[in-house]
Amino acid sequence: MKRLMNGRKYSALLLIAAMILTLTACGSSSGDSSQEGTDGAVRDQDSVVIAIGSEPETLDPTQGWGHGNSPIVQSTLVTYTADLTFENDLAIDYSLSDDGLTWTFTIRDDAYFTDGEKVTASDVAFTLETAKAAQGSVDLTYMESAAALDDTTVVIILSRPTSVFLNTLASVGIVPEHAYGEDYGTNPIGSGPYRLVEWRPQEQMVLEANENYYGGTPEISRVTVVFMSEDAALAAVMAGQVDVAYSTATLGTTEVEGYHVEAITSADNRGFTLPVLPDEGEVTESGAPIGNNVTCNLEIRQAIAYAIDRQQIVEAVLNGFGRPAYSENDGMPWNNPEVVIETDVEYARSLLADAGWEDTDGDGIVEKDGLKAEFSCLYPAGDSVRQAVAMAAAEQVREIGIQINVEGTSWDEITQRMFSEAVMMGWGSSSPNETYYLYRSEGALLDDFYNPEGYASDVTDAYLDAAMEALTPGEANENWQKVQWDGTTGTAMQGECPWVWIVNLDHVTFVRDGLSIGEQPIHGHGHGLPLIQNLQDWSWSE
C-alpha cells in the first residue's frame, strides 16, 4: 500500500528541490558569438534561435548522429510518426521476404543532395555498409549485405530476422557516396530538410532550410542552435535572446513574460543501476573493479525499489514535470504493464528482516554478518536533476535502514567505478533495441554503459533472442514483455531488479509565444538533439 511521506521526509525532499531551484539564472553563456542576432528585438519570422545543452560529436549518421532521432540534415528511408508507427520518407515502398531475411526498398526519384547530385539506391547501400563497418552506435552486425539493383531499388539481406530493423533505419540518415570522406561529420552533405552552414564547437551551429527538399521548403529558413548550460539558457530566455530553450524540471516553474513552457513527453528515464555480482576481486578488461557485497543481495535491491515513493519525487523534486518510472520503456507498445509496483515500505522492511538484515547497533543502518547496508551512488557532477532525484530517493530509502551515499563525480571516474557501485543512470529510446542491450548476458561488464551491473540470465537471453527474431510486431512485443516479467522472473523490480527505476522526465522547453514547435514525437534520452528532429514542422504565427 502506498503511504504518505512523514513530515521529516517530505521536508527533506522540499529542501532538495528548493536548493536546486535556487540555482542562479545569470550564468555566463557560451560566449558572445552565441548571441549574434539575438538582441531581444522583434523576432525575424524566418528564423529561430535555440539554446540546447548537449552538443553532438558528429553529424555523420554512420557514426551515430541521429541515433534514436531523425538526423534532420539527412533523409532516412522511413521515419517515426508521433505515435511510434512508421511512414515512408526516402522510401516509397518496401517489402520483406517470408523468411524475414530480405528487405527490398524502392526509393523516390526526386530526392537530391544539397550539392545537386541525385540520391540513388547506391547511396543507401553505401551508407548501410559504411555504418556496419564503423561498428559504432548503429548496430548492423546482423546485416549481411546491402546492394543497389538499379537507381531506385536497394536489397538488404540479413543474417537473421531482426524485428528492430525498421527502428534502426528510421535513425540512419543517407550519406552521399560521391562526397563522403573523413571530414563528413563536420561538413555533411545530405538530402534532409536542413543543411549545415556553420558549426563552431562549444558555441553554436547554424542550419538553413534546404530549398530543394522533396518534402517542401520548411517555413523556418534559418536555425541557430547555441550550446548553453541550463541556467545560462534560462538567463537567455529572460533576456529575450533566444526563442526556444531546453531547460530542466527543476527550473520549469519559472515564469517569463512572452514565453510559455511546453512539457514534452519523453522516454528519458532516471534510476539506480545496482551491481548484481559480489566483490570477489575481479576486474573488467580495463581494470575496473567488479561487484558490490551489499547490492548483490536481491532483497536489498528489491527493498530499495519498494521503499521509493516515485510520485512524491516527481512532485517535490521535478515540480510535476515527469511521471514515475518502472522500466526502461514505460508507455511503449512493448512495455509489460505488470512491471508497475506500489510503494510499500513495510514490505520493503520485511524483505530485509526475512533475509537477516537487522539494525544491531542502533545507528539506523541494517547489517548482516557484520556487513552494513551502505554503498555509494554516483552521478555526473553538474547534473542537477540526477543529483536531486538521487538525494530524494536516498532520503526515502534511509527510512528502511539502507544508507546510500550520493556522490557527484566525472564521467571518466564513473566509467571506472560503475561496475562496483550504483550509478544514477539514464536511458530512454523509441526502439526496443535498448532493452536488448541493457540486459543481454553477452553485454555484461563491457566497457560501456549498457550493463555495468553485470546482469546475466539464460531465461532473459532466450526471450531477447525471440523478440529480436520475431517476424511480426505482436510476436516481438510479447517476448519483449516477457523479458521484463514472465510471471515468475524477469528484469522487473519484482524480479531480478538489476535496476531501480525512479522517474521518467518531461523535456521542459521554454518557447517564445507565437512560435509553434509542431507535434513533438516522444523524445528519447537527451543526447542527439531530439527537440529539433521535427524542425521542418516549426512555424511562426502571423
Render the burial of 186-209: b for 16+ CB within 10 Å, e for the rest.
eebbbbbbbbbeebeeebbbbbbb
Mean pLDDT over 203-228 rounds to: 95
Residue 356 near residue 368 (C-beta atoms within 8 A): yes
**What is the CATH number assigned to the segment(s) 40-55+201-265+513-542?**
3.40.190.10
Gap between the Cα atoms of 527 and 516, Å rounded = 22
- Tens of pLDDT, residue by residue over 402-439, are 999 999 999 999 999 999 999 999 998 878 989 999 99
Which pTM was predicted? 0.84
Gap between the Cα atoms of 498 and 504, Å rounded = 18
Cα dist from 24 to 52, 161, 380, whole Å: 17, 52, 19
Residue 23 confidence (pLDDT):
33
Angle between helices 7-21 and 384-397 (to 10 degrees): 170
Confidence of residue 45 (pLDDT cuts 50, 70, 90): confident
The 10 Å Cβ neighbour count of residue 49 is: 25
Mean pLDDT over 246-253 rounds to: 88
- Tens of pLDDT, residue by residue over 283-315, are 999 999 999 999 999 999 999 999 999 999 999
Percent of the chain with pLDDT over 90: 75
Same fold, 40-55+201-265+513-542 and 61-184: yes
Residue 104 near residue 95 (C-beta atoms within 8 A): yes
Residue 43 confidence (pLDDT):
56
Q: Where are the domains of the chain?
A: 40-55+201-265+513-542, 61-184, 267-430+449-454+497-505
Running DSSP on this structure, what letter comes out for residue 358? Answer: B
What is the average pLDDT score of the chain? 89
Pick the CATH number of 61-184 from 3.40.190.10, 3.40.50.1820, 3.40.50.300, 3.40.50.620: 3.40.190.10
The 10 Å Cβ neighbour count of residue 287 is: 8
Q: Is 477 left (phi over 0), alpha (psi -120 to 50) or beta?
A: alpha
- Tens of pLDDT, residue by residue over 69-90, are 778 999 999 998 777 778 999 9
**Does residue 516 sit in helix, strand or coil?**
strand
Q: Tell which CATH architecture fits domain 267-430+449-454+497-505.
A: Roll (3.10)
Element of type H or E holding 167:
helix 165-169
- Tens of pLDDT, residue by residue over 5-27, are 333 333 333 333 333 333 333 33
Residue 409 — φ and ψ, nearest 5°?
A: -155, -175
- Tens of pLDDT, residue by residue over 144-158, are 999 999 999 999 999
Gap between the Cα atoms of 198 and 225, Å rounded = 10
Gap between the Cα atoms of 21 and 13, Å rounded = 12
Residue 275 confidence (pLDDT):
98
Residue 243 near residue 512 (C-beta atoms within 8 A): yes
Element of type H or E holding 482:
helix 473-484
Gap between the Cα atoms of 490 and 501, Å rounded = 14
483: CB partners within 8 A, 6+ apart: 435, 439, 460, 463, 464, 467, 490, 491
Residue 220 near residue 12 (C-beta atoms within 8 A): no
